Amino acid sequence: MNDFNLTTRDHQKNADEIANLRFVRMCDVLPEAVQWLWRPYIPIGKLTMLQGVEGVGKSWLLAALAAAVSRGHGLPGDSPRRLDSVLLMSAEDGLADTIKPRLERAGADTTRVFALNEPLTLDDAGLQRLETAIGDHHPLLVGIDPLFAYTGLRLDINRANACRSLSTTLSAIAERHRCAIVMVRHLNKYRGHGDPARAGIGSVDWRAAVRSELLVGADPSDPARRVVTHSKSNLTPLGCSWSYEIRDNGFTWLGESSLTTSDVLSAQVSTSEERSSLSEAEDFLRQVLSDGRKESRQVRKESEERGISEKTLRRAQKRLGIIATRVGDPYTGQKWFLELPESVCNEMVKIENLTASYPLGG
């Protein structure tokens, strides 16, 4: 009897919940055109992801976006618009020594740019405070740089449901206040093996949650030049790529670029793999020369057996400051020997002492 009553109550509760769901006939919905902060790259009322490796110029691009909004200037390929306010959240740079100088060099009207000046975690309370701030300042652009500096330790960025909970709330805030929220994200160390869908840190659902995604990277033919590509769009066809430079006098757009997302990401994957190979070569030299100097020819032979190229080995020798010494009589034959510099030896001794003091599993 009790089981039956419990089941009946559950059915009634489910019926009440279903009755409370809101539905609308689609014939009663008035169509709305998508509005743009930068067509077709950054939609208003939606989430956009801006991603790239560290130090490539993502924050500079965000500053350029803030400058365009605060001055009413048109962004590349788009028309000028009315000037508006900007709200910036930047966890990695100081406001006085980095953010403001960067904004000024990008040409922003800093009277229209508001920056968060305290720690904030995007939990329930933090999201409420963020929405209140957006309601107070009415920004057209909200920049969160980087996103995961504000998610807090309790949110697992690799779990899809945790990602969806936050992204859904941010999306609702953007829609309610008719602003564009641009979230900055770093790439993972594997760069998604060239796949933009898997190149960013955290769950792939972060990418699924945004309506547009931009990828920033170095131009393979000119490392001083940066390229921003349109790597995802749910609202329009993908836009063309644009290049820019960060010069002493500020941020400068250079025009359209023929490079694609695949081009830029592949170059970053190659750079990552090159750094990994170089690190492997350095570790090899530390190991093979740890007992003292060794003949160069023998070192080269062992490195080839490990698949380390001669070019990478030479770069590793230069980075470590390996000492090369020629030994022998020039008439009867000479040999080159390699040895670690004193600074590297001292570093290795410190590591060994530290390991001995705190052994694994101790």
Q: Is residue 142 part of a domain?
A: yes
Tokens of 91: 């966890």
**HEC readout, 45-64:** CCEEEEEECCCCCHHHHHHH
Show the domain range for 150. 25-257
Q: Is residue 3 part of a domain?
A: no
Tokens of 317: 């020798």
Q: Are residues 251 and 272 in the same domain?
A: no
Output the tens digit of pLDDT for each of the chain's 362 residues. 444 455 556 656 665 555 678 889 999 989 889 999 999 999 999 999 999 988 888 999 999 999 999 999 999 999 998 999 999 999 989 999 999 999 999 999 999 999 999 999 999 999 999 999 999 999 999 999 999 999 988 898 988 888 999 999 999 999 999 999 999 999 987 776 778 888 898 999 999 999 999 999 999 888 789 999 999 999 999 999 999 999 888 899 999 999 999 888 887 665 554 555 667 778 888 888 888 888 888 888 888 877 777 877 887 888 888 898 888 776 667 788 898 887 766 655 444 444 444 444 43
Domain-terminating residue out of 211, 230, 257: 257
Instruction: Tell me the torsion sign for CA atoms 176, 179, 180, 186.
Output: negative
Q: Is residue 54 part of a domain?
A: yes
Q: Is residue 1 part of a domain?
A: no
Q: Is residue 262 part of a domain?
A: no
Q: Are residues 344 and 285 in the same domain?
A: yes
Q: What totals of helices (H) and strands (E) does the chain contain, helices first?
A: 10, 14
Q: Are residues 176 and 274 in the same domain?
A: no
CA–CA separation, 124 and 126 (whole Å):
6
Q: Is residue 253 part of a domain?
A: yes
In the chain, how many domains are there?
A: 2
Domain-terminating residue out of 257, 278, 307: 257
Alpha helices in the chain (DSSP H): 2-19, 58-71, 100-106, 124-137, 160-177, 205-209, 261-288, 296-305, 310-320, 342-357
Q: Are residues 231 and 348 in the same domain?
A: no
Q: Are residues 230 and 308 in the same domain?
A: no
In three-state secondary structure terms, 146 is coil
pTM: 0.71
CATH number of 43's domain: 3.40.50.300
CA–CA separation, 42 and 35 (whole Å):
9
Long-range contacts of the stretch 170-173 (C-beta < 8 A, 24+): 170/47, 170/122, 170/127, 171/46, 171/47, 171/209, 173/127, 173/130, 173/131, 173/134
CATH number of 300's domain: 1.10.10.10
* 271 closest CA partner among 189, 362, 356: 189
Domain-terminating residue out of 257, 288, 313: 257
Q: Is residue 14 part of a domain?
A: no
